[in-house]
Amino acid sequence: MAYFEIKNLHVTHKSYEGIKDVLDIEHLTIERGETYGLVGESGQGKTVLALTILKLLACPPGKIESGEILLEGENLLALSQRQMQQRIRGSKIAMIFQDPMSCLNPVFTVGSIMTDVLQTRRKGLSRKKATQEAVKLLQEVKLADAESILSKYPHQLSGGQRQRVIIALALACGAELLIADEPTRNLDVTIQASILKLLKELQQKRNMTVLFIANNLSLVSAFCDRVGILYNGKIIEENTTSALIAAPQQEYTRVLLDAVKAESRSAEPVEGGEELLRVEHLKKYFDINDDIKHQKHLCLKAVDDVSFTLRKGEVLGIVGESGCGKSTLVNTILNLFEPTDGEVWFEGKPALGAGRKGGSAFKKNVQIVFQDPYWSLNPRWLIKDIVAEPIEVYERLGEADKIRRVKELLTMVGIEEDACYKYPHEFSGGQRQRIAIARSLASQPKLVVLDEPTSSIDVFSQEQILALLKDLKKRFGLTNILISHDLGVVHEMANKIAVMYLGKIVEFGSAEEIFHHPRHPYTKALFDSIPSLATQGMEGLKTLEGQIPSPINPPQGCAFHERCAWACDRCSCETPQQTDLGGGHMVSCLRAEELTELM
């Protein structure tokens, strides 16, 4: 008898459009101690499955039509909510949700959340005992300084710390089956690696079984023994991890694999034309008004003395952990934020603080495509109005001419013309991103900023969007700035790369150089912590220890020295200057020269 088994599970969802099948799983078994990876994109039914197993699915609109979910031979679907609560949830099956920001109650301290859970589960546990237990659990998930964390509120913890607290909560009652629903989704790559390592260790130590849900095959390849691919609610392929990666049977699996294999393709080198954009010593500090403590002169240095030059036809990729200032940098260049200091030159003319007229010429020439196409299109506008918005601002066109232009733009990005009279919610994420691209091109710009253009759309569309972007870039001779945490995307698109850390560019150079010969320890650590298909087992996954320091109070000397494996005494007192290693490869590291051999 298998430890965990799903048989003929059929779940439907009822809505205005009618009844839709969301899950149709014929058979799925997980043996004790196994790690099973369930991979699929959003909307394929992964989370519905997790909720169904725990009997937390909202019914209606959901409905479990038929099937059995067996845990050690016992059918969970036949149990009442009360029995689930008492015997299964928490004590036998625990779940880690994907968003650590929203699943800890913000009005309680970590300590009271944890002791509360412990005391509910184990009747008669005194408060003191429960606190001791909580400390032990926090130490088990490797949270340094467990006692002080108990007295903190969730918002005082970083994303990685919160996810560790949630893992501790999941462990609190000795669950044997752990459902991890994209546990690293909103975390940084560097933190992602350490959370995965922790989960693996805990699993081995406690002999747990893990159902690991992910949207990305590269995460699973390092972590899981077996993988199932979920597509449209069905498991279309299942195999051991290595066999699945080596010989995928289904087209969909191949697409998923290709999406994470992007490193095989790299951007074509571009002869840089004349200078298009020059950023000089740009600074953006945010004042922090701490009214309660009356602390003055606090400021958050989101962008701290950044300079670079972009030539016509180049694609600059900006990479770094979240909070490093990538988005602020771009928003400041785009004039959305008032810069604290510094200058931006566009085609040899100053772009910041220019008069109204000059400003609008700059705006016409510089457009942006945002990360999330669900929020970047006004949900109450028709597509024709959305795409025509820049045309309305810069050109006086009659209604008929305007519609004709909109249709041209839509055809160009591969959207059918009758989309004009639809609302954004009628389109998929990929299609919406195409519409956003069409809008960004409507004013015939020269520079288009791409802020994580593919990170919130499914893999099928990702490839097509990248191809479209490359095609449009060629056709119109565009210059791009690309922000992405997905190094595959950066590798494919960018021919120059800037690595940012705490508001500063720590390394800048051609993509070729930076990918193959990273000179800054941070760049190297960043690249190493990203799991790829080649990563076999958790040993291959390097982690970058420690949290990103607060940009309000950055460390003395080199901002990275606290987390750097190569730091020496000098690093903690001397601030490194940008040095040119030749060929425009700039790096801010005191030991750049010596480390070339060491790394």
Partner 1 sequence: MSNLLQTLRPRIKSFGESLYLLARNKLSLLALIVMILLILSAIFANVIIPYPQDIADASHIEDKLLPPSAEHWMGTDELGRDIFSRVVYGARVSLRSALGAVGLSLLIGVPLGAIAGSFGGWVDNVIMRLTDVFLSFPPLLLAIAMVAVLGSSLNNAVLAISLSWWPWYTRLIRGQAISVKERKFVQAAETIGTGKLKIIFRHIMPNCISPVIVQASMDIGGVILTVASLSFLGLGAQLPTPEWGLMISMGRTYFPDKWWYCIFPGVAIFITVLCFNLMGDAIREILDPKTRKK
CA distance 319 to 70: 45
Q: Which of 58, 247, 292, 598 binds partner 1 (CB under 8 A)?
A: 58
Rule CB under 8 A: is residue 426 a binding residue for partner 1? yes
Under the criterion CB under 8 A, does residue 427 sit at the interface with partner 1?
A: no
Could you say whether residue 326 binds partner 1 (CB under 8 A)? no
230 vs 344, which CB is nearer to partner 1? 344
User: Scanning residues 346 to 405, which ones bind partner 1 (CB under 8 A)?
Assistant: 360, 363-364, 366-368, 370-372, 375-382, 389-390, 392-394
Q: Report whether 2 contacts 32 (CB < 8 A).
A: no
Task: Report phi then psi at 207, rounded to 5.
Answer: 50, 55
> Where do we find the tokens 């036809």?
313
Between residues 186 and 266, which has the closer beta carbon with respect to partner 1? 186
Q: Which is nearer to partner 1, 65 or 426 (CB)?
A: 426
Pick between residue 251 and residue 416 the one whose CB is nearest to partner 1. 416
Nearer to partner 1 among residue 43 and residue 584 (C-beta):
43
Q: Whose Cβ is closer to partner 1: residue 423's or residue 460's?
A: 423
Helix ranges (DSSP H) in 268-379: 326-333, 356-365
CB 499 within 8 A of CB 526: yes
The pairing of beta strand 234-240 with beta strand 226-231: antiparallel
Amino acid found at 442: A
Tokens of residue 199, six digits: 């989960």
Nearer Cβ to partner 1 (326/591): 326
Give the shortest CB-497-to-partner 1 separation in angstroms.
24
Min CB(147)–partner 1 separation in Å? 37
Residue whose CB is less far from partner 1, 384 or 585: 384
Binding residues with partner 1: total (CB under 8 A): 38
Q: Contact with partner 1 (CB under 8 A): which of 243, 288, 336, 534? A: 336
Instruction: For the CB of residue 349, give the shortest distance to partner 1 in the complex, in Å.
Output: 16
Q: Could you say whether residue 416 binds partner 1 (CB under 8 A)?
A: no
The β-bridge relationship of strands 315-319 and 496-501 is parallel
The residue among 59 and 534 lying less far from partner 1, judged by its C-beta, is 59
Q: Which stretch binds partner 1 (CB under 8 A): 30-38, 274-282, 289-297, 436-444?
A: 436-444
For residue 177, give the nearest of 40, 26, 54 by alpha carbon: 54
Q: Looking at beta carbons only, is 58 or 292 nearer to partner 1?
A: 58
Rounded to the nearest 10 degrees, what angle do helices 159-171 and 189-206 cross at? 20
Are the beta carbons of 245 and 257 closer than 8 angstroms? yes
First to last CA, the chain: 50
Phi, then psi, of 569 in degrees rounded to 5: -60, -40
Helix (H) or strand (E) holding 177: strand 177-181
The distance of closest approach from Cβ of residue 439 to partner 1 in the complex, given in angstroms and rounded to an integer, is 7
Which tokens in the block code for residue 400? Answer: 């008929």
Among 8, 19, 32, 60, binds partner 1 (CB under 8 A): 60
If DSSP states are collapsed to H, E and C, what string results for 387-444? HHHHHHHHCCCCHHHHHHHHHHHHHHCCCCHHHHHCCHHHCCHHHHHHHHHHHHHCCC
Place of tokens 């210059």: 479
Residue spans of alpha helices (H) in 547-599 = 592-598
Least distance (Å) between residue 203 CB and partner 1 = 34
Among 432, 439, 496, 519, interactor with partner 1 by CB under 8 A: 439
Which one of 88-96, 286-294, 316-324, 415-423 is the stretch in contact with partner 1 (CB under 8 A)? 415-423
Taking the complex as a whole, how short is the minimal distance between the CB of residue 441 and partner 1, in angstroms?
A: 12
Phi and psi, residue 168, nearest 5°? -60, -40
In the bound complex, what is the minimum distance in angstroms from residue 455's beta carbon to partner 1? 13
The binder of partner 1 chosen from 134, 436, 567, 587 (CB under 8 A): 436
| Separate counts of helices (H) and strands (E) for the chain | 20, 22
Smallest gap from Cβ 188 to partner 1, in A, equals 21
d(CA 305, CA 185): 31
Residues 83, 266, 428, 443: which binds partner 1 (CB under 8 A)? 443
The single-letter DSSP state of residue 578 is P
Give residue for tokens 């030749």: 582
In the complex with partner 1, which residue's Cβ is closer, 291 or 539? 291
Shortest separation between residue 422's beta carbon and partner 1, angstroms? 6
* H-state helical runs in 85-171: 110-121, 127-140, 146-150, 159-171
Output the smallest distance, CB 155 to partner 1, in A. 18
Catalog residues that contact partner 1 under the rule CB under 8 A. Answer: 16, 58-60, 331, 334, 336, 360, 363-364, 366-368, 370-372, 375-382, 389-390, 392-394, 418, 420-423, 426, 436, 439, 443
